[in-house]
Amino acid sequence: MYELTEEETSIVSLVSEWVDREVKPVVRDLEHGNTYPGSLIGQMKDMGIYGLVIPEPWNDASVSTPCFAAVTEELARGWMSLAGAMGGHSVVAQLLLAFGTDEQKDRYLPRMATGEVRATMALTEPGGGSDLQAMRTTARAEGPGGDYVVDGSKTWISNARHASLVALLCRTDPEAEPAHRGISILLVEKGPGFEVGRDLPKLGYKGVESCEISFDGMRVPRSALLGGVEGKGFAQMMRGLEIGRIQVASRALGVGQAALDDAVRYSQERESFGKQIWEHQSVGNLLAEMVTQQTAGRQLVQHAARRYDSGERADMEAGMAKLFTSEAAMKIALDAVRIHGGHGYSTEFDVERYFRDAPLMIVGEGTNEIQRGVIARQLVKRNRVGGA
């Protein structure tokens, strides 16, 4: 199923066993209570999950992106919120690895690998949505070599209360044309002028906070500029979002797999008209479609992960994986509810949670409408006709 080394296969199996042993028995109560899973997060740190994408010399062990995707899927199979708790953290790690200065890497990566420092990214603004170039958050430099003074606000920031490092996308040159040339990433640590606002109420994705954050005259040192050069932030973040979208696609796979597993089990336990319900063609057809979509989605994710590791541009592949798996997870979750019948609408069964969690992957990390545009642009760019 996965093209992994023997060691990587063992890591995925370890996480899978942990999910079945530690997560499955407690997830329903934690999710329904919207309770932060502190104990489970601590165990994830101990297992090295927060350092999976961080290589030597900053971490003792790292894995390939296909393995990272497989681990993410297993976490989401147990509870999508656990995969969300390390999603942005892994994107920030990749940003540091690809673009950070030596000082930035040495400062953050060793502590990020252990989970001592947890990171998140701040992109979306209250009025901007997916239009990142329309952002209004600014970082004004106080003279040559002076601090940046940051003002503005962001929203839908996962792990905002528990993260101590924020990769902030902001304008360092509001007059730049085109706009993306004036955008940079600052590595911001919490301090005066940084405020975490309210937790946003959500349909699903419970337990892990998504907050509004604001900056009011916050002073950030010049050394916090990712890579040390202004105006590179938009391109840097687009590369970071490739791994982010692979991660979100893997979350969708986990939700889809959990829904499929429950549907297959219930269809054998429940009988009607003298048969196990999977034997009825209408139910059997649903199961066939579910497993086909799940298997196809996994291949797309693994393809995108291998492309990412090759060093080639992978936004088209990551976009396709995210688009397909998120839409598939939504359908698989709904079909699992159909198969469970009235029980599928009950909070005493987990399929209702999958149905509430699945939409996040459709709108998160760039909506699927945005993904379609990314895919189409890259498709044409890679297949120019007549030298256009």
Maximal CA-CA distance, the chain: 81
| Active-site position among 125, 348, 365, 369 | 365
Written in H, E and C, the secondary structure of 127-152 is CCCCCHHHCCCEEEECCCCCCEEEEE
Alpha carbon of 290 to those of 9, 261, 264, 329: distances in Å? 25, 10, 10, 9
Copy the structure tokens of residue 28.
Answer: 């329903």
Q: How many whole angstroms separate alpha carbon 43 and alpha carbon 246? A: 24
User: What residues contact 228, with CB distance under 8 A and at least 6 apart?
Assistant: 101
Alpha carbon of 334 to those of 48, 82, 255, 290: distances in Å? 34, 22, 11, 10
Strands (E), the chain: 119-122, 138-141, 148-158, 165-171, 183-189, 194-199, 210-220, 271-272, 275-276
Question: Strand 148-158 relative to strand 194-199: parallel, antiparallel, unpaired?
Answer: unpaired
Alpha carbon of 355 to those of 217, 326, 352: distances in Å? 41, 12, 5
The distance in angstroms from the start CA to the end CA of the chain is: 40
Composition of the chain by helix, strand, coil, percent to 5:
55, 15, 30
- Ramachandran category for residue 82: left, alpha or beta (phi over 0 → left; psi -120 to 50 → alpha): alpha
Alpha carbon of 180 to those of 115, 117, 237, 282: distances in Å? 32, 29, 11, 51
Q: How many whole angstroms separate alpha carbon 12 and alpha carbon 341? A: 33
Copy the structure tokens of residue 386.
Answer: 């007549």
Do 132 and 234 meet the contact criterion of CB atoms below 8 Å apart? yes
Do 94 and 265 meet the contact criterion of CB atoms below 8 Å apart? no
Copy the structure tokens of residue 260.
Answer: 């499929």
Q: How many whole angstroms separate alpha carbon 183 and alpha carbon 247? A: 24
Annotation says 365 is catalytic: yes
The residues annotated with a catalytic role in the active site are 365
